[in-house]
Amino acid sequence: MAGTFISFEGIDGCGKSTQVKYIVSALKELGANCVCLREPGGTAISEKIRGLLLDPQNMEMRPEAELLLYEASRAQLVRQVIEPALAAGSIVLCDRYFDSTFAYQAAARGLDEDVVRTANELGSCGFVPDATIVFDLDVETALTRATRGGADRLEAEGVAFQRRVRDGYLRSAELESERIRLVDADGTPEQVFGRLVEALVPVLPVLASLDVKAFLSRQADLERAMADIALSLGEDA
pLDDT at residue 157, as a whole number: 85
| 79-109 tens-digit pLDDT | 999 999 999 999 999 999 999 999 999 999 9
How is domain 4-211 classified at the CATH fold level?
Rossmann fold (3.40.50)
* Cα–Cα distance, 175 to 51 (Å, whole number): 32
pLDDT at residue 237, as a whole number: 54
Query: Residue type at 131?
Result: A
Q: Are 104 and 165 in contact (CB under 8 A)?
A: yes
pLDDT at residue 86, as a whole number: 98
Give the residue extent of every domain in the chain. 4-211
Q: Are 147 and 13 in contact (CB under 8 A)?
A: yes
Q: Are 16 and 145 in contact (CB under 8 A)?
A: no
- What residue ranges of the chain have pLDDT lower than 50? none
3-class DSSP assignment, residue 137 = coil
pLDDT at residue 174, as a whole number: 96
pLDDT at residue 227, as a whole number: 86
